[in-house]
Amino acid sequence: MGVTVLPAADRVAVAWRNGGGITREIAAFPAGADDFQWRLSIADVAADGPFSAFAGYRRVITVLTGAGMRLTVGDAVHDIRPLQPFEFDGGALTTCTLPGGPITDLNLIVRAGARGAVRVIETSGPLAVTGPAAIVMVRGAATLAGREVGVPDAALVDRATVTTLRPVGTATAALIDLP
């Protein structure tokens, strides 16, 4: 397949059980499985509250819009600033407060011990991406695999595939290394 563009308009919004937000899954492997190897999603967080526990998984969360959030993971408090990926144990008791109001965040959840990382890159020139990876547009627009992508469109890049993100002007993208 090479590169699969995943338009934001195709994502289904699912309300959280606690009513504190909405999640839109970008992709997961295997697709539709409860026991996934990895899952990538974008969430609209509207209120303070607990995070769902994902025992046996690592999470990397990146605030995309809004002023940031404060996460309490176990007994440790972390101030998460926009576009600064933060990794933590998915099984740890985690709560969120929103000192600056609602946010939107990018969530990568991978099995503990598996490869998986998020980098946020601003570029005005071509950017090579090697799979397995995902790309999520954060600011601006670009072309990828011959298609225009904007915020918050995404793409999956298959293993052993190299593609080039070509920004229109300056663009910011989250590059996700997948297992």
- Residue pair 96/51 in contact (Cβ under 8 Å)? The answer is yes
Task: Tell me the C-alpha distance between 135 and 175, whole Å.
Answer: 5
Q: Which pLDDT score is estimated for 21? A: 82
Last residue of a domain, one of 111, 128, 148: 111
Q: Which domain holds residue 82?
A: 11-111
Torsion of CA 63, 44, 139, 114, to 10 degrees: 50
Q: Which residues contact 21 (CB under 8 A, 6 or more apart)?
A: 15, 43, 44, 45, 46, 47, 49
Q: Residue 136: which of 72, 83, 66, 73 has the closest Cα?
A: 83
Within this chain, do residues 103 and 121 fall inside the same structural domain, yes or no?
no
Task: Tell me the C-alpha distance between 54 and 111, whole Å.
Answer: 9
* pLDDT tens track for 8-45: 999 999 987 667 789 999 999 999 888 899 999 999 99
- 169: burial class by Cβ within 10 Å (0-12, 13-18, 19+)? exposed
Q: Which pLDDT score is estimated for 33? A: 87
Within this chain, do residues 93 and 129 fall inside the same structural domain, yes or no?
no
For residue 93, give the CATH number of its domain: 2.60.120.10
Q: What percent of the chain has pLDDT over 70?
A: 98
* pLDDT tens track for 82-122: 999 999 999 999 999 999 999 999 999 999 999 999 999 99
Within this chain, do residues 87 and 28 fall inside the same structural domain, yes or no?
yes
In a domain? residue 99: yes
* pLDDT tens track for 66-90: 999 999 999 999 999 999 999 999 9
Within this chain, do residues 18 and 102 fall inside the same structural domain, yes or no?
yes
Q: Which pLDDT score is estimated for 17? A: 66
- Residue pair 73/94 in contact (Cβ under 8 Å)? The answer is yes
In a domain? residue 2: no
**Which residues make beta-bridge pairs with 68?**
none
Give me the mean pLDDT over the 162-177 stretch.
97
In a domain? residue 1: no
For the entire predicted model, the pTM comes to 0.94
